[in-house]
Amino acid sequence: MLLSRVAERVYWQARYLERVENTARLLNVFSGLLLDLPSGTKLGWHTLVQITGTEALFDSSHKQASERSVVRFLLSEKNGYSILDLLALTRENARTTREIMPTEAFEQINNLYFFARENVNQGVSRGSRYEFLETVIASCQQISGLMAGTMSRDAAYSFVRLGRSLERADMTTRIVDVGSGNLLPSLSGKATESEAIEPYENILWMNILRSQSAYQMYRQHVRYRINAEDVVKFLLQSEEFPRATAHNLTTLTKVLDRLPNNNKVARQVNKTKRMVRQGNIEEMLSQGLLQFIDELQIEIAAIHHMIAATWFLPNK
Amino acid sequence: MRVNWKTYNPGEFFDELISSPGYARKPARRLASYLRSLTHEELLEKKTAAELAIKTMGISFTVYSDAGNIDREWPFDIIPRVIAQKEWDQTNRGLKQRLRALNCFIHDIYNDQKVFKDKLIPRELILNSGNFRKQCVGVKPKFDVWAHICGTDLIKDTDGKFYVLEDNLRVPSGVSYMLENRRVTKRVFPELFENYYDIQPVTEYPAQLLETLSAISPRKLDSPEVVVLTPGIFNSAYFEHSYLAQRMGAELVEGGDLVVEKDKVFMRTIDGLSQVDVIYRRIDDLFLDPEAFNKDSVLGVSGLFKSWLKGNVALANAPGAGVADDKIIYTYVPEIIKYYLDEDPILPNVPSFLCVDRKQRQHVLQNLDKLVIKPANESGGYGMLIGPQASKKELAEFARRIKADPRNYMAQPLIALSTVPVLGERVVEPRHVDLRPFVLQADKSYVTAGGLTRVAMVKGSYVVNSSQGGGSKDTWIIGDN
């Protein structure tokens, strides 16, 4: 028997933990990527703020999106989106659901929180950032692995999976967004000067894949050289790759089967899945992927609202 | 440097580890020589390891302060306290006897009131107790048991014997720390468990608690729905609420998770409403139900009290059980044991003076600077006066308070609490301790093996409360070999 309140906290704990991992991945990849690109590109640190959906908040408190200001914003500032804040939220949700979570999972979340709090300055300075972020990413994966390996496949674990999959589905659309925003001249539709820009396009998409640990898997599935269309297809539509949006929507469907009163949520997930599957990426890339991604994110948000209405607020 | 038991000096106090300089008491001999086998640096390393374990395990408690609530790591001293099995067996019997008698007393108060008719205790004394609930009159809980969980505070005087300092029958806390102290000690001193001692395990408490709670379920089910009701994350004992729920496999609920329909209690789950049979409530009586008690309570559940009256849900402890936790009633417990059980009390009380009695009050007022004055209904060490350590102004203030409301005060001589060794930065030194064992009663009784030892970390201090700078220790009940 799972309390609604507990279900909600377990779900958010999983979402926040996933968000920590994704934020760390993005910071890591961006730190490398920007060193490789020519200074004329529009791709800069501010893009990272856009991806995380924190533009308004960032712009209201920062004059300039420099490496230092963005990294601090996403690592340690008190704003509800930084890795430290997300970890505090993860820990708080884990702390209030200790009675149903494996003890070791709480202990590791607790340890990760303390580690991050004590070493966050390592993440700010360029020289040690990689190491710090890799530790955070590895710890997140360790915690997910621990839960997968020790939790019974009951309702509580279903909510862990719902939270994780939904967060991943959402984050992947945001990452694809990076490439779609006319950031490189070569992506602006007129591919006339493409000869000179092409290597950078490659670098951009390669790094986008890397941020999702998708580079190797992509390579195994797609034989051609890296190009926008194939990467976007892979990240949005692959059923096999575990961070792809389509894969995570399918996971949601499977998890929903195990939960009571799932009709409305399942319908919304199916609607979203159809949209992802039927999207004509080639056509959209030439006309602008932006609108499609926006619409997709609205559908994903609707899944969340449906989950909350169904299980978190019954009889209230 | 190593610990030197010859220079370890407890002064005039009863020390539980050594009997005279350099000589350990029999049960503690192996511990004393083991501690001597380590250098002070090695001991400090173990202390650091213990602190790290506590941080990792998230063993914390909340301190309320003006600056907001702070979640603190649990203060712990690594040197265990040792009690011989034989001494404990006797104490165990005494504790069970005491709770049995107290439950007879509470049931009598709310039903036949024989105790008044036989003039053992004056009626007014009970009826003006802040913990008497007139709404509970006539209720007959299962097995006639009202207090299912009791935390009794024991201390040792200079004679080395246990005395009962107080009975906590409302929402006693600390048992999770007893369990966690053991877990930490096993990590820090595995060799002691393996090679030195036969130590009674403490881990069965959550299973015993679940059994006690299941026994009082109104519905006859194989596994009734047992929940732990907490005020929430901001309560100082939240760690314990969550811990016990986890160990019992029970749901941890807040008031908002529960709803009463047709005088039955339900919890809101992802499957809809689900009936609750037993509530281990960690909320005070007055906040349980805004309809029955405090109207402004947001922690409680409307209609809960009525469902309990109708016998549709069990509450542990039952509302009104606190009537026997009053410090004035405490002074009557030896008579209560004789009256209801026709037995001699196995565990003695600390001698006490009742301010409501004219003669005794006179004595108290004349000897304020030698006595400890306690209000009837406070807990956590708040609102009391330690005469020998008080200023003239404080003494005068308490004299005024006693005269104004004699019913609300009792006094006890300052007991010279026993000492045990505590690991300091540079040396091992004696510090004062008490002990809180936990006693369960439904159809049968159970006492923890040992309990929570609380220790005053400041030299000479008697204040052991964690909210006021106290620490704790693992407590070992050890066999003869």
DSSP letters of B232-272?
-TTSTTHHHHHHHHHHHT-EEE-GGGEEEETTEEEEEETTE
Residue B121 resides in a domain: no
- The answer for residues whose C-beta is within 8 angstroms of residue A192's C-beta and 6 or more apart is none
Residues A95, B225: C-beta atoms closer than 8 Å: no
Q: How many CA atoms lie within 13 A of A305 on its CB side?
A: 7
Q: Are B435 and B407 members of one domain?
A: no
Per-residue confidence (pLDDT) for residue B381, from 0 to 100: 65
Q: Which residues of A touch B253 (CB under 8 A)?
A: 3
Q: CA of B251, closest CA in chain A: separation in Å?
A: 7
Same domain, B409 and B422: no
Q: Which residues pair with B412 in a beta bridge?
A: B372
Q: Which residues span the domain enclosing B468?
A: 18-87+173-202+418-478
pLDDT tens per residue across span A8-52: 999 999 999 999 999 999 998 888 887 777 766 667 888 889 888
Whether B259 and chain A come into contact, CB under 8 Å, resolves to: yes
Contacts of A114 in chain B (CB under 8 A): 55
* H or E segment to which residue B227 belongs: strand B226-229
Query: Which pair of tokens denotes residue A8?
Result: 């909600």
Classified as helix, coil or strand, B441 is strand
* Nearest Cα residue in chain B from A108: B56
Same domain? B357 vs B387: yes
Cα–Cα dist B77/B233, whole Å: 26
Residue B467: how many other CB atoms lie within 10 Å? 16
Using an 8 Å CB-CB cutoff, list residues of chain A that contact chain B.
1-7, 92, 95-96, 98-100, 103, 106-107, 110-111, 114, 155, 259-261, 311, 314-316
- Nearest one of A249, A229, A239, A247 to A289, comparing CA atoms: A229
Look at residues B413, B435, B462 and tell me which one is the last residue of a structural domain.
B413
The residue in chain B having the minimum alpha-carbon distance to the alpha carbon of residue A7 is B270
Residue located via tokens 């700010």 = A124
Indicate the length of chain B as a whole number.
Answer: 481
Separation of alpha carbons A22 and A248, rounded Å: 15
Residue of B nearest to A100 (CA): B246
Q: Residue A98: which of B242, B256, B270 has the nearest Cβ?
A: B242
Same domain as B424, residue B409: no
CB-defined contacts A:B, below 8 A:
75
In chain A, the residue whose alpha carbon lies closest to the alpha carbon of B230 is: A96
> What sign for the dihedral angle of Cα B248, B250, B255, B260?
negative
8 Å CB contact between B78 and B183: no
Residue of A2, A98, A114 lying closest to B270 (CB–CB): A2
Residue B440 and residue B404 share a domain: no
Tokens representing B161 are: 């014997």
CA distance B268 to chain A (A): 6
Residue B270 has its nearest CB partner, among A106, A107, A155, at A155
- Work out the minimum CA distance from A112 to partner chain B, whole angstroms: 10
- Interior/surface letters B413-444, b for 16+ CB within 10 angstroms, e for the rest: eebbbbbbbbbbeeebbbbbbbbbbbbbbbee
CA–CA dist B105, B67 (Å, integer): 43
Q: How far is CA B372 from CA B352, B360, B382, in A?
A: 10, 14, 12
Of B55, B251, B270, the CB nearest to A311: B270
Which residue do the tokens 């959209």 mark?
A: A284
User: Look-up: residue for tokens 């956590």?
Assistant: B380
Pair (B394, B427) in one structural domain: no
Interchain pair B251, A99: CB under 8 A: yes
Closest CA to A103 of B209, B204, B56, B206: B56
Distance CA A263, CA A199 (A): 48
Six token digits for residue A28 = 């890591």
Distance CA B369, CA A251 (A): 72
Does some domain include residue B81? yes
Is the domain of B370 the same as that of B469? no
Task: Name residues whose C-beta falls within 8 Å of residue A141's C-beta, 6 or more positions apart in sequence.
Answer: A21
pLDDT tens by residue, B71-89: 778 889 999 999 999 999 9
> pLDDT band at residue A233, thresholds of 50, 70 and 90?
very high
Give the nearest chain B residue to A260 (CA atoms).
B271
Rounded to a whole number, what is the distance in Å from the CA of B63 to chain A's nearest CA? 17
Query: Is B472 in the same domain as B376?
Result: no
Q: Identify whether residues B359 and B469 lie together within a single domain.
A: no
CB-CB neighbors (< 8 A) of A111 in chain B: 56
Peptide bond preceding B9: is omega within 30 degrees of 0, i.e. cis?
Answer: no
Tell me how many domains chain B contains: 2
Contact at 8 Å (CB) between A236 and A245?
yes
* Cβ B432 vs Cβ B157: under 8 Å: no
Rounded CA-CA distance A82/A245 in Å is 23
Q: Confirm whether B334 is domain-assigned.
A: no
Asked if B246 lies within 8 A of A103 by C-beta distance, the reply is yes
Query: Does A1 contact B259 at a Cβ distance shorter than 8 Å?
Result: no
The answer to whether the CB atoms of B257 and A107 lie below 8 A apart is: no
**How is residue B198 written in tokens?**
């036969």
CATH number of the domain that residue B386 is part of = 3.30.1490.270
Name chain B contacts of A100, Cβ cutoff 8 Å.
246
Closest chain A residue by Cα to residue B256: A5
Is B337 an 8 Å CB contact of chain A?
no
What is the SS3 assignment for A135? helix
Q: Are strands B419-423 and B428-436 parallel, antiparallel or unpaired?
A: antiparallel
* Single-letter amino acid code for the residue at B300: G
What span, in angstroms and rounded, lies between the C-alpha atoms of B424 and B1? 13
From B413, B448, B463, give the residue that closes a domain: B413
Instruction: Confirm if B148 and B278 have CB atoms less than 8 A apart.
Output: no
Structure tokens at B206: 């959550």
Measured CA to CA in angstroms, residue B51 lies from A29, A106, B272, B466 at distances of 37, 17, 43, 16
Give the C-alpha separation, B435 to B472, whole Å. 10
Q: Which amino acid is at B318?
A: A
Q: Select the residue from B51, B59, B270, B274 to test the A interface by mutation, using most A Cβ atoms within 10 A.
A: B270
Residues B367, B403 share a domain: yes
**Confidence grade of residue A282 (pLDDT, cut at 50, 70, 90):** confident
Q: What is the DSSP letter of B367?
A: T
Residue B226 near chain A (CB below 8 Å): no
Residue B438 located in a structural domain: yes
> Can you give the C-alpha Rg of chain A in angstroms?
20
Per-residue pLDDT of chain B (481 residues; tens, 9 = 90+): 788 899 999 999 999 999 999 999 999 999 999 999 999 999 999 999 999 988 888 887 776 665 666 677 888 999 999 999 999 999 999 999 999 999 999 999 999 999 999 999 999 889 888 899 999 999 999 999 999 999 999 999 999 999 999 999 999 999 999 999 999 999 999 988 887 788 999 999 999 999 999 999 999 999 999 999 999 888 888 889 999 999 999 999 999 999 999 999 999 999 999 999 999 999 999 999 999 888 888 888 999 999 999 999 999 999 999 999 888 899 999 999 999 999 999 999 999 998 888 999 999 999 999 999 988 877 666 788 888 889 999 999 999 999 998 888 999 998 889 999 999 988 999 999 999 999 999 999 999 999 999 999 988 888 887 777 789 999 999 987 6
Q: B360 and B458 in one domain?
A: no
B55 CB within 8 Å of a chain A CB: yes
Q: Is residue B344 part of a domain?
A: no
Same domain, B379 and B396: yes
B285 touches chain A (CB under 8 A): no
The predicted complex's ipTM stands at 0.78
Upper half-sphere CA count for residue A7 (Cβ side, 13 Å):
25
Domain boundary among B366, B381, B413: B413
Place of tokens 């005494």: B94
**pLDDT tens for each residue of B29-41:** 999 999 999 999 9
Instruction: Give the residue from B146, B456, B450, B200 showing the smallest Cα distance to B314.
Output: B146
